[in-house]
Structure 1
Amino acid sequence: MVVAQLPFGSRHGVSGRYPIPKFMETDTNLTASAGDRVVLVCRVENLGTREIIWRKLPSVTPLTIGGYVYVNDVTISVEHARESEDWKLIISGAHSRHSGEYECQVPTADKQMRKQFYLTVTVIYISDRQHVNTDEPFEISCNATGDDFVPDNIDWFKNGQKLQSDVGKGVSIKFSVSMETKTIKSTFRVAHANMTDAGTYTCRTSNSLVESTSVVVLYATSKNSKRENNFVEVGSIANSYISPTN
C-alpha cells in the first residue's frame, strides 16, 4: 500500500498547526496635542501564543514586549485584554519627543511581519475660528509645550499688532503653567465684542512658536439676531506663520 504524504503545513498554511497571523485595520496616522493621552492600537488576528513587540523607530530597542515595558520611561505603557486582538501602546502626557514612527511587530522566524504607525504631537495649539455677535464675550486659548523647559511667555497679536490687557476695555490675558507637561496656556478674552475686534489673532511663544486663528464679528441688532445679519471678517491665516510687529 502506498500512502501519499502531504507536505507539512499544506492544510494549515505556512505556520503548520496554527493559522497565520494577520494585521487588521486600525488608525496608523495619529495627531495629538502636547499633554494628550495617545493610544496606538495594533490589532492582530490569529496571534496565538505570540506577543506583540512595540518599537519607536529607528531604535531597535523594544519599548514593550507582550505586557512588559522595556524602557525607563514613565509615559510609556501597554494594554492588552485577555482574548482581545488589540495590543495598545499608551503614551501618557504626549510630548514633542514622542513624535515619529512606531512599529508593531509580530514575532516570526523571518521577522518580517511589521506594521508602521506615525504620530505627530503638536507643540502649539490655538482655538478654532470663532463667530461672535457684537456685545458678546469671546476668548481664544493658546497652549504651547517646550522640549526641556516651559516656554517663558506667550504674546498675543491682532493683525500683527501686539495686544495687552486693558481692564477699562474689558480685555484680559491670563496664563497658567504645568511643570509636569512643560506646557504654558494663555487665554485672551474680550468681555464685549465690537466690529473692530474682527481679525486674525496670533499667539507667539518666547521660543518663536507661532499659531494663528480668526475671529468673525457679526453685527446683531438684538440678542435674538444670530448670523442672519451682515458680518465683517478680516483675514484667516490659521496654521500659518506671520511675523508680528514687536
Structure 2
Amino acid sequence: MCARVYMYTYIYMNCVWSVDHTCCVRFDKRAGYKLSDGQKNTVPKTDGKQTDKQPQQAAATTVARPFVAPPTPSQQLPPPPRNSTNVTAVVGLAAAAAGAVAQTAPTPLDPSNVTHSSALDDAQLQRTLLKPKFLTENSSTVVAQTGVASRISCLVANLGDCVVSWIRRRDYRLLTVGLSTYTEDLRFQSLHHVQTGDWTLQIKYVQLRDAGLYECQISSHPPKSIFINLKVVEAQAEIAGASEKYLMLNSPLHLECVVRQSPVDPVYIFWYHDSRMINYDIDRGVNVTSNLPNKHSALYIERASRAHSGNYTCAPSNAFPANTVIHILNGENPAAMQHGHGRSLNMLSCPSIWILIPSLVMFINFNTN
C-alpha cells in the first residue's frame, strides 16, 4: 500500500516517489501529505512519519490540491540515491514544515527595544501620575523664640526636576532657591533632607521683626505654594509671688521660677543673689533643684539669716530673667510680714499710727460740729 513509507525514495517535481514508481507523496503545507492512489492520509508535522488514519478524520484536515501523476517508464527519471533512506524525505519535509511555521510565526521583540520602551513608559508615568505635591499642611503656624534658631519645615513628594523656593511674603523677598541663599541676610539658610523630602528654612537668632507669613513654592507649571505663619515670642522667666518679700529671721526661704512662652527647653536655669551665682552654694544652706523639661526651678533655704537679704534673680538660658527682693527681719522689730501674694502690716510695730489716730478723730469731730 502507498500509505507505508518505503525504504528507498527519491524526489521529483516536488513529490516523493517510491522506487517502483507506484506511489507519490506530495507535501501540502496546509494539510500534510497526499498519496498517489487517492487515499487521503495525513502525517503529523512534528515527526514527519506517515500514519494510517480513517478517511473521515483526514477529510477534516486535508485540503484538495492538483494531483501529480506518477511518471511513465518512458520518462527519464533521476536515479534514486543508493544510500538514502526514508530519513531524507522525512528530514526535508520536516524542514519545509518548519519553514512554513516560521513564515507565519510572529517575529520576537528585540530586548533592547523592550527595555527602551519600558523606560519611556516609566518616564511618562512619572510625568503624568507622580506630580509634585506638598505633605506639609497649608496655613500652619510655627512658634519661634527670640534669640535662638528657628526652622520652618516644608515636606515635598515627587519633586522630580522641580526646585523648592522660600519667599517672605511681607516684602516678597526671595530668600532661597534650592540650597542657594538669595538674600543678604545670612541668617536665612535652606536645609534639605533627602530621605524625607524636607526642605527646611532655618532662621538663626530670630528677632521680633522676623514674624509673618512665609511661602514654600514648587517650580512646577503652574507653580504650587503653601503658606506658613511664623509667630515670634519672647520667653520670660517668672518668680512666683510679689516682687518684694518679707521674712522673719531663721524662717525658711522658698522661691520658684517658671519659664513662660518658650517653645524649647532651657539648657540651664541659674539663680543669682545680687551678682553671685548660688546654684552650688551648699555650704551657705542654698539648695537649688531644676526640672528643665518642665521649664521650672526652685530655690530653698531652710534657715534664712540677715546675710540672705537682697536681690534674687532667676536667669534661664533662653529667656529674659526675673528678680525679686527679699527682706529678712529680726524678731525684735519686724517691719512687715509677707503672706502669700500680698503684704500685711503689723500695727503694733508702727507707733506712728497711734499718733495719727487721735488727730483723725479730732478732725472728724470738728467737721460734724
- What TM-score comes out, normalization by structure 1 length? 0.52
What is the correspondence of 1:97-176 to structure 2 with a 5 Å cutoff? 97-111=209-223, 113-123=224-234, 125-127=235-237, 130=240, 135-139=253-257, 170-172=309-311
Deviations 1:89-115 (A, max 9, x none): 00111001110000000001222x100
Unaligned 5+ residue runs, structure 1?
1-7, 144-166, 177-182, 200-246
Match in the other structure for 1:149? none
> Displacement of 1:55 after TM fit?
0.5
> Displacement of 1:136 after TM fit?
1.5
Question: Identity rate of aligned residues, in percent?
Answer: 21
Deviations 1:105-139 (A, max 9, x none): 0001222x10000011124x3236859xx632334
Does residue 1:71 correspond to 2:183, yes or no?
A: yes
Do the aligned partners of 2:236 and 2:322 also contact (CA within 8 Å) in 1? no
Instruction: Indicate the structure with greater strand content.
Output: 1
CA distance, structure 2, for counterparts of residue 185 and residue 71 of structure 1? 30
Is the partner of 1:97 in helix, strand or coil? helix
Deviations 1:6-40 (A, max 9, x none): xx99x848x43x61111113592011221121110
- The structure whose RCO (Cα within 8 Å, separation 6+) is larger is 1
> Displacement of 1:64 after TM fit?
0.2
Instruction: Indicate the structure with greater helix content.
Output: 2
Deviations 1:197-227 (A, max 9, x none): 526xxxxxxxxxxxxxxxxxxxxxxxxxxxx
- What TM-score comes out, normalization by structure 2 length? 0.36
Does residue 1:187 correspond to 2:322, yes or no?
A: yes
Unaligned 5+ residue runs, structure 2?
1-120, 242-251, 262-305, 329-336, 343-369
CA distance, structure 1, for counterparts of residue 136 and residue 194 of structure 2? 20
CA distance, structure 2, for counterparts of residue 184 and residue 135 of structure 1? 24
Shift of the 55–72 alpha-carbon distance from structure 1 to 2, 3 Å rule, reads same
- RMSD of aligned Cα (Å): 4.1
> Displacement of 1:175 after TM fit?
9.7
Match in the other structure for 1:95? 207
Match in the other structure for 1:198? 341
Does residue 1:35 correspond to 2:155, yes or no?
A: no
Do the aligned partners of 1:56 and 1:63 also contact (CA within 8 Å) in 2? yes
Do the aligned partners of 1:173 and 1:186 also contact (CA within 8 Å) in 2? no
Q: Would you say how many aligned residue pairs link Structure 1 and Structure 2?
A: 158
Shift of the 141–83 alpha-carbon distance from structure 1 to 2, 3 Å rule, reads closer
Do the aligned partners of 1:137 and 1:192 also contact (CA within 8 Å) in 2? no
Match in the other structure for 1:82? 194
CA distance, structure 2, for counterparts of residue 142 and residue 81 of structure 1? 32
Larger Rg: 2
CA distance, structure 2, for counterparts of residue 20 and residue 103 of structure 1? 19
Is the partner of 2:321 in helix, strand or coil? strand
CA distance, structure 1, for counterparts of residue 186 and residue 217 of structure 2? 22
> Structure 2 residue aligned with 1:25, among 129, 136, 147?
136
Match in the other structure for 2:354? none
Do the aligned partners of 2:238 and 2:259 also contact (CA within 8 Å) in 1? no
Shift of the 188–119 alpha-carbon distance from structure 1 to 2, 3 Å rule, reads same
CA distance, structure 2, for counterparts of residue 33 and residue 192 of structure 1? 34
Is the partner of 2:155 in helix, strand or coil? strand
Deviations 1:165-224 (A, max 9, x none): xx8673415599xxxxxx99433146699853526xxxxxxxxxxxxxxxxxxxxxxxxx
Shift of the 173–40 alpha-carbon distance from structure 1 to 2, 3 Å rule, reads same
Could you list the runs of 4 or more consecutive aligned residues of structure 1 that deviate by over 2 angstroms after TM superposition? 25-28, 58-61, 81-84, 125-131, 137-143, 167-171, 173-176, 183-187, 189-199
CA distance, structure 1, for counterparts of residue 238 and residue 196 of structure 2? 37
Shift of the 30–170 alpha-carbon distance from structure 1 to 2, 3 Å rule, reads farther
Shift of the 141–77 alpha-carbon distance from structure 1 to 2, 3 Å rule, reads same
**Matched residue type, 1:170:** S
